[in-house]
Amino acid sequence: MDVVVENLPLFLEGFWTTLRLAVFSGALALVLGTLLGACRVSPIPPLRGLGTVYVELARNTPLTVVFFFVVFVTPQLGLRLPFFPSAVIALTIYTAAFVCEAVRSGINSVGVGQAEAARSIGLSFNQSLRNVILPQAVRTVVPPLINIFIALTKNTSVAGGFFVAELFNVGRRLTNGHATAVTPILIGVAVFYLLITVPSGLLAGRLERKVAIAR
């Protein structure tokens, strides 16, 4: 375990980068995914089509391929970004598709009568969604969203292969220098991931209870 203790600053740096990747991508994916979810239930057919095409493309493409496109292909199109923002974009694109589907299933879980009542008092589609449907969808959306966030946290390790010095990247570099201590290093890496994912799970439980009472 000495390797981990000796290189703690490096681990912490990697952990910090992983945490930032997860939080930034998670927040952006939540916004983008919710907008896409709204598109998928929209009364306007082109918006529905857009949502569907996005989900099918982003969800069914391996994350590594998405990274490849963002990191290597977009610079050729004249859009040159540092590696960290590129990684956030790739993770956001990929994760938003899953968020979209979670939000859509949440919207569908709210009875159709609620939407009819909302429209009947003259609320527009957007107002109905914001004031009536989404607040009620939250309670069914929280558990799958936390799952998605945990998956996202682990997916940030892909960024390590694309020049971002996050946890996994740190671990790999350390194993190169300490061939005899591979196991402790990898355990160290795993523990740091757990520091993010386990509290997320606990937070999910609390959130679930909270939205359940608010009903």
Partner 1 sequence: MTATSEQTPSPGEATGQPLVVLERVNKHFGDLHVLQDIDLSIASGEVVVILGPSGSGKSTLCRTINRLEGIDSGRILLDGQALPAEGRALARLRSDVGMVFQSFNLFAHKTVLENVTLGPIKVRKQAAKVAQDSAMALLERVGVANQAGKYPAQLSGGQQQRVAIARALAMQPKVMLFDEPTSALDPEMINEVLDVMSTLAKDGMTMVVVTHEMGFARRAADRVVFMDGGRIIEQAPPEKFFTDAQTDRAKDFLSKILTH
> Contact positions toward partner 1, by CB under 8 A?
43, 111, 113-114, 116-124, 127, 131-132, 135-136, 214-215
CB of 131 to partner 1, least distance (A): 6
163 backbone φψ class: left, alpha, beta (φ>0; ψ -120 to 50): left
Whichever of 12 and 214 has its CB closer to partner 1, that residue is 214
Whichever of 49 and 85 has its CB closer to partner 1, that residue is 49
80 backbone φψ class: left, alpha, beta (φ>0; ψ -120 to 50): beta
Whichever of 78 and 122 has its CB closer to partner 1, that residue is 122
Which amino acid is located at 188 in the chain?
G
Q: Is residue 166 helix, strand or coil?
A: coil
Whichever of 43 and 78 has its CB closer to partner 1, that residue is 43
Cα separation, 209 vs 215, whole angstroms = 10
Cα separation, 119 vs 108, whole angstroms = 16
CB of 112 to partner 1, least distance (A): 9
CB of 210 to partner 1, least distance (A): 13
CB of 208 to partner 1, least distance (A): 15
